[in-house]
Structure 1
Amino acid sequence: MLPDEMTAPDVTALEGQPIQRMERDGVQYVILGTAHVSRASVQAVNALLASEHFDAVAVELCPSRAHGIRDPEAFKQMDLFQVIRQGKAGMVAASLVLGSFQKRLAAQYGIEPGAEMKAAMDGADARGVPVWLVDREVGTTLKRAWRSVGFFQRFGLMAGMLGSVFEREDIAEEDIEKLKQSDLLEGAFSEFASGSAPLYHALIAERDSFMAAKLREHGAAMDPAAPSRKVLVVIGAGHLKGMSTELAEQHDDARALTDELATTPPPAKWPKVLAVTLVLAIFAAIGYAFYRSPSLGIDALKNWILLTGGLSALGALIAGAHPLSIAGAFVAGPLKPFRPGIPSGAVSAMAEAWVRRPRVLDFERLRDDITHWTGWWKNRVARTLLNFFLVSMGTIAGEYIAGVHIIRSLF
């Protein structure tokens, strides 16, 4: 038997809620725009499910986020060594920063972000109807957003993410109201999304297109002989207008469109070319210094080692790394040009994860620890990821500072 709150709909819960009804290719869509931090949105989901019959329920979730909502303990199975080895440490760290933002909302307002999505999935399960996961994978969205902006905007994003870790003020009521009209990802990066058309396109517009195409794809697979084809769509209110427009106006092949939007564009070549050119120029300068004078060459080489190794080690030191990890960062920094594709942060982080192996308790407390900035240093999982990030940044800074210093010493 269904729970009482599902069998006795509260019609008043739907008053003032953004609901749009439309039909596409013989499928009726009831689209509910929700706030990811609102009890009213949860009540509206339950009221719609209880008052109308739906043949499917679509939610603004990708498989990984849906799995995280259904099984909050799944992250405990994370293999930290594999995360670092596969170059995913930065992406996991970004996801944790976003998670800490969500946790702050939960602690302040007493409701987990995404509770309305869980209510929609639970309601569909209770009624035996399929759940459609129509959002793009969050990792793909973050990668496309990252690669859509320029070099200096990336530093701004990283600074903003680090700043959110240290932010302790309560989230104001007016900011919560803004979240009701925007997307959670956009809300977390609102300062940058509002001022960057490429970033807004990757975080919002592309996902509007992706979700509309996914709805069309799933809708086409429904039995055309069924007595009804009616779908409840639960999405953030910030996507309501854009996705509805896309659903009405899209004419491209749905599968081809989702495949295109789900691909990660290759990284721009110029940053790698610039980095290689810089390193070659620095090594040429060091060689020229030796040509002019052995002592001048030794000084140039010493500056390279001390600045790249020293700033890499400083990053590990700030992260509270083990002395062995700090030493690994110092050695790995100057040798980075000889290890293309292997950042110095990965070397130091691997050493940190080996010396201070994360305990079961660290994984269990990870979500709670990262809600406060000190938790990034106390929790071994978070500290390893922080170590990766700060050492990598220290190495990059060291390379540029060393290059300028060495070249200036020749003139």
Structure 2
Amino acid sequence: MSLESTIEPIAQDALHDQPIERVHRDGVEFVVLGTAHVSRSSMEAVQTLLERESFDAVAVELCASRAQGMRDPEAFKQMDLFQIIRQGKAGMVAASLVLSSFQKRLADQYGIQPGAEMKAAMEGADSRGLPLWLIDREVGTTLKRAWHSVGFWQRFGLLGGLLASVFEREDIEESEIEKLKQGDMLESAFSEFASESAPLYRSLIAERDAFMSARLREEAAGTTDGTLRRVLVVIGAGHLKGLCEHLRNDRTDPAAEAAELSRTPPKARWPKWLAAGLVLVVFAAIAWAFHRNTALGTQALLAWVLFTGGFAALGALIAGGHPASIVSAFIAAPIKPFRPGIPAGGISAMTEAWVRRPRVADFDALRDDIGHWKGWWKNRVARTLLNFFLVSMGTIVGEYSAGIHILHSVF
């Protein structure tokens, strides 16, 4: 087994200063190109490599859903908001939209579409009749593993970073984007990141390095007719060093490793137990209040309704919700303990989407609108997602506020 690796010598024109490594393993040469996902020169480097060299397959840092979205950029317009909310995917959809909005803002500065180098690789494979390998982990799985890898308070920092990436309006110089392809800068940046949140770095970067290496080995092992000699691998520059190291050194079963890294971590149980415990304590206090005095019990029960329903309705109001979604939030929040399933935020958001059905224009302008804070209230799709989050947050605030008030008044 040959595992030697060499750094591609600097060439002229489109490949000048491009980070390329060649890894030889099991009789296959993997030509690994590191790119910046909003870089014009990265797209040109992909096209040049395909023109100058002969490849038997092309691998890209995409999962099936992202590849489909890139091939059909209008596909997101067909998403069913009711199903998204009912299945509890509102958070994943919102995070994906925020990330794509940030990438689109950068790309708009330079007249190039986000992921143009990946699209160039896919189109190059199609035009040459080459197999296309989608080697990245599903984006939803990565986001879930990243979310579950950090603590409660770190999640607020993660959300804050996402929001800051959307609302930051300062332009970024194209030269700074190109610098991201210098290995030493990437290593130092990721080392600093890892020191701040090693679990987050592991989920977003390190695990995907191992996953993509495993997928490359799995695809190569599956080609048994002896025709596979050279594969072009197009990945983000931040994965270049880690992926190549795994590709040289890993001895694990690739299919088993990919399956393990694709596993969605189980949800933490303590938040549900804490919420259930709070509700039990509060309703025990209400029952005790009725036992002592009917009027006191009635006041405690009314406090529960007003606090939970009031804060949930306030969330819908802040989100610019329709009166019907505000009323549904007020009704759904107090009976949440007796109504397992869709949360109050989901009921209010579905009401909002039913009363104010998103128009084609809302989907057309979605990525642009969410890049400005006012757009979250103007766009009907974004406002529905905002309604879901604010009503859900209002319900939680209302429950704790009601609990404190009732316990204080009864004991």
Paired position in structure 2 for 1:186: none
- On the 8 A contact 1:222/1:229 being kept in 2, the answer is no
- On the 8 A contact 1:56/1:129 being kept in 2, the answer is yes
- Give the aligned residue type for 1:74: A
Is residue 19 of structure 2 the alignment partner of residue 18 of structure 1?
Answer: yes
- Give the aligned residue type for 1:88: K
Deviations 1:370-394 (A, max 9, x none): 2222221111111111111111111
Paired position in structure 2 for 1:116: 117
* 1:33-112 equivalence runs, <5 A: 33-112=34-113
- On the 8 A contact 1:35/1:181 being kept in 2, the answer is no
Structure 1's unaligned 5+ residue stretches are 1-9, 183-188
Paired position in structure 1 for 2:359: 359
**What is the CA–CA distance in structure 1 between the aligned matches of 2:358 and 2:369, rounded to whole Å?**
14
**What is the CA–CA distance in structure 1 between the aligned matches of 2:45 and 2:338, rounded to whole Å?**
58
Deviations 1:49-108 (A, max 9, x none): 111100001000001111111111111111111111111112111111112111211222
**What is the CA–CA distance in structure 1 between the aligned matches of 2:399 and 2:193, rounded to whole Å?**
27
**What is the CA–CA distance in structure 2 between the aligned matches of 1:179 and 1:258, rounded to whole Å?**
27
**What is the CA–CA distance in structure 2 between the aligned matches of 1:31 and 1:300, rounded to whole Å?**
65
**What is the CA–CA distance in structure 2 between the aligned matches of 1:181 and 1:405, rounded to whole Å?**
57
**What is the CA–CA distance in structure 2 between the aligned matches of 1:311 and 1:57, rounded to whole Å?**
53
Paired position in structure 1 for 2:4: none
- Give the aligned residue type for 1:57: V
**What is the CA–CA distance in structure 1 between the aligned matches of 2:317 and 2:165, rounded to whole Å?**
21
Gap change, CA 1:253 and 1:143, over 3 Å in 2? same
- On the 8 A contact 2:66/2:139 being kept in 1, the answer is yes
- Give the aligned residue type for 2:274: L
**What is the CA–CA distance in structure 2 between the aligned matches of 1:170 and 1:273, rounded to whole Å?**
45
Give the length in aligned residue pairs.
395
* 1:1-400 equivalence runs, <5 A: 11-171=12-172, 176=177, 179-180=180-181, 195-226=196-227, 228-400=228-400
Deviations 1:181-225 (A, max 9, x none): 69xxxxxx9998762111111111111111000000101112353
**What is the CA–CA distance in structure 2 between the aligned matches of 1:199 and 1:356, rounded to whole Å?**
37
Deviations 1:225-274 (A, max 9, x none): 32x51000000010001111111121111111111111211101111111
Gap change, CA 1:81 and 1:408, over 3 Å in 2? same
| Deviation, structure 1 residue 277 | 0.9
| Deviation, structure 1 residue 296 | 2.5
- On the 8 A contact 1:311/1:394 being kept in 2, the answer is yes
Paired position in structure 2 for 1:4: none
**What is the CA–CA distance in structure 2 between the aligned matches of 1:119 and 1:13, rounded to whole Å?**
14
Identity %: 71
- On the 8 A contact 1:136/1:211 being kept in 2, the answer is yes
Does the residue aligned with 2:24 lie in a helix, a strand or coil?
Answer: strand
| Deviation, structure 1 residue 172 | 5.7
Does the residue aligned with 1:334 lie in a helix, a strand or coil?
Answer: coil
Deviations 1:304-323 (A, max 9, x none): 11111111111111111100
Gap change, CA 1:168 and 1:335, over 3 Å in 2? farther
**What is the CA–CA distance in structure 1 between the aligned matches of 2:15 and 2:176, rounded to whole Å?**
23
Does the residue aligned with 2:275 lie in a helix, a strand or coil?
Answer: helix
**What is the CA–CA distance in structure 2 between the aligned matches of 1:190 and 1:380, rounded to whole Å?**
40
Farther off after superposition, 46-55 or 155-164: 155-164
Farther off after superposition, 331-340 or 60-69: 331-340
**What is the CA–CA distance in structure 1 between the aligned matches of 2:194 and 2:101, rounded to whole Å?**
19
- On the 8 A contact 2:77/2:363 being kept in 1, the answer is yes
Gap change, CA 1:178 and 1:293, over 3 Å in 2? farther
Q: TM-score, normalised by structure 1?
A: 0.91
**What is the CA–CA distance in structure 2 between the aligned matches of 1:286 and 1:46, rounded to whole Å?**
70
Structure 2's unaligned 5+ residue stretches are 1-10, 184-189
- Give the aligned residue type for 2:402: A
**What is the CA–CA distance in structure 1 between the aligned matches of 2:129 and 2:72, rounded to whole Å?**
20
Does the residue aligned with 2:21 lie in a helix, a strand or coil?
Answer: strand
- Give the aligned residue type for 1:42: M
- Give the aligned residue type for 2:397: A
- On the 8 A contact 2:194/2:201 being kept in 1, the answer is yes
Does the residue aligned with 1:255 lie in a helix, a strand or coil?
Answer: helix
Gap change, CA 1:89 and 1:121, over 3 Å in 2? same
Gap change, CA 1:193 and 1:64, over 3 Å in 2? farther
- Give the aligned residue type for 1:279: V
- On the 8 A contact 1:97/1:165 being kept in 2, the answer is yes
Does the residue aligned with 1:83 lie in a helix, a strand or coil?
Answer: helix
Deviations 1:148-186 (A, max 9, x none): 12222223323333444433333466863575469xxxx
- On the 8 A contact 1:36/1:179 being kept in 2, the answer is no
Farther off after superposition, 311-320 or 332-341: 332-341
- Give the aligned residue type for 2:264: T
**What is the CA–CA distance in structure 2 between the aligned matches of 1:155 and 1:368, rounded to whole Å?**
24
Q: TM-score, normalised by structure 2?
A: 0.91
Gap change, CA 1:333 and 1:286, over 3 Å in 2? same
**What is the CA–CA distance in structure 2 between the aligned matches of 1:270 and 1:112, rounded to whole Å?**
43
Deviations 1:345-392 (A, max 9, x none): 100011001101111222222222222222211111111111111111
